[in-house]
A and B are shown apart, each in its own frame.
Chain A
């Protein structure tokens, strides 16, 4: 009797995850990756933050409901396998939709918050590659401020009446924890981890794109790299604007770095540096006092 396979060709492809604090350029990275002919990159699947915890809860609850001493329970490998099939189920659809590519050799997913769930994802895809993009959090605050005003101004303003209060929240609950968690994972899995700084990629996009695609194990020669960089450039993604040409209503707002120096008030800068100062130092971002601001 033939036993049917449960697998799909897409299931054996390597996996990559793009993570980083919100407003650090994760969407940009996703666009860059997806612009490469051999990469299928999608966003906001929230696998680590939503799907996997739900499935973990399910199997745990089932095990608990079974009488003690029973052999009718899911072990760790079983749970990981169910999670793997759940993710593959969706990623097969992405693969099928990307058939025009030449052929897809890696499947990538971007959810900023997965910076906090890399261990969970790693149990499901032990060989996964992680691209962690970091940005000066002070620029992140400005970007986040405008982003939230675009999305839901009333609710946002009542929650954060001042830029300073938002800054405190952003650095404490997002910027610092995400970077700390992702870097810790990177130290434990150095071969599978690539860290980039938004500002560097902005300055030398082609060089960094080459590094990224090399890291992903896809064609890193001039043509596909150049094409991807062009398709994911600020000009392309903003609908024709040059870097620095601001449109606060756009997700691709400004495309520059360092704008915090004009856009952040003194109180916010102080709060940020009080909480996130040593991380800024570690990452090589100069403090406000060190510049004539």
Chain B
């Protein structure tokens, strides 16, 4: 009889997860990984909140209904195995979709889901050797980017929820930037060998150096030619369809490609609100306060 649960070569590949607060450059990071021949990279799979956590909830509910002892219920290890199987089922397809010569080169499967910044513990339980790449950006720049992003996407609903940039700033600091940055760093502190932290600003300033750091961390080819190709294909010029950094197009996902423009684009009230909530985190990360940069 044939194998009921045949394994697949993709199951054995290393796993990486790109995380970060929204608008911190996670999509850029994903693009960077996608160009590398040894990495198979995809976005927005949301495995932890959309698949694994609901699966644990359902198995727990099933267990509660069972009367018999432990052999009629799922243990924690069982649940992790099932979650891993479900995720692997999808990731096998990512690999299978690659044409043959490319497929054989892949060493790492990567997913970019910003919200995974909050679920690194869950992902690590499912993939104990996984690596996390956490990209951090000045939250005030994220805020500006987020504002434009939402205006582009669903302006009416967004404007009715956030009547002013100030109200959005409060929400964004409290519900997005601080929790995302804090939780991911916390996890990283406990798993230093599995965690790489990058700054968007550093990626802008010295992309080849940062790219080398990333690929070294992932254990893939980090030599000159590969880095060059990656940088070229993921430059702001390439991703924005020909614009230089600083050439703004508010309608594009690749809006401006600079850092620090919050100083011109954020009104003082919004800055104040943001720094009130996120000040400690800004300080811890070395991002100067508005007052310190004469804003």
Contact = CB atoms under 8 A, between A and B. Distances in A.
A3 B71 contact: no
B78 A97 contact: no
A89 B74 contact: yes
B58 A57 contact: yes
Given A58-B58, A82-B82, A90-B74, A65 B50 contact: yes
Given A71-B93, A72-B42, A89-B78, A84 B4 contact: yes
Given A44-B68, A55-B58, A90-B72, A3 B5 contact: no
Given A42-B72, A71-B93, A82-B85, A5 B8 contact: no
Contacts of A82: 82, 85-86, 89
A5 B46 contact: no
Interface residues of B, number: 41
Nearest to A6: B5
A74 B54 contact: no
B51 interface: yes
Given A74-B90, A82-B86, A58 B5 contact: no
A11 interface: yes
B115 to A, nearest CB: 12
B4 A61 contact: no
Contacts of B228: none
Contacts of A50: 62, 65
A42 B44 CA distance: 41
A46 B65 contact: yes
A71 B42 CA distance: 11
B50 A62 contact: yes
Contacts of A71: 93, 97
Contacts of B46: 65
Q: Bin the interface of chain A by size.
A: 35 or more
Given A3-B12, A65-B46, A93-B71, A58 B51 contact: yes
A88 interface: yes
B1 A12 contact: yes
A6 B71 contact: no
A54 interface: yes
B71 A94 contact: yes
24 contacts: A3-B12, A4-B7, A5-B6, A6-B5, A7-B3, A11-B4, A11-B5, A44-B67, A44-B68, A44-B72, A45-B66, A46-B66, A54-B62, A55-B58, A58-B51, A62-B50, A66-B44, A66-B45, A72-B90, A78-B89, A84-B4, A86-B82, A89-B78, A90-B73
Interface of A: 1, 3-7, 11-12, 42, 44-46, 50-51, 54-55, 57-59, 61-62, 65-67, 71-74, 78, 81-82, 84-86, 88-90, 93-94, 97
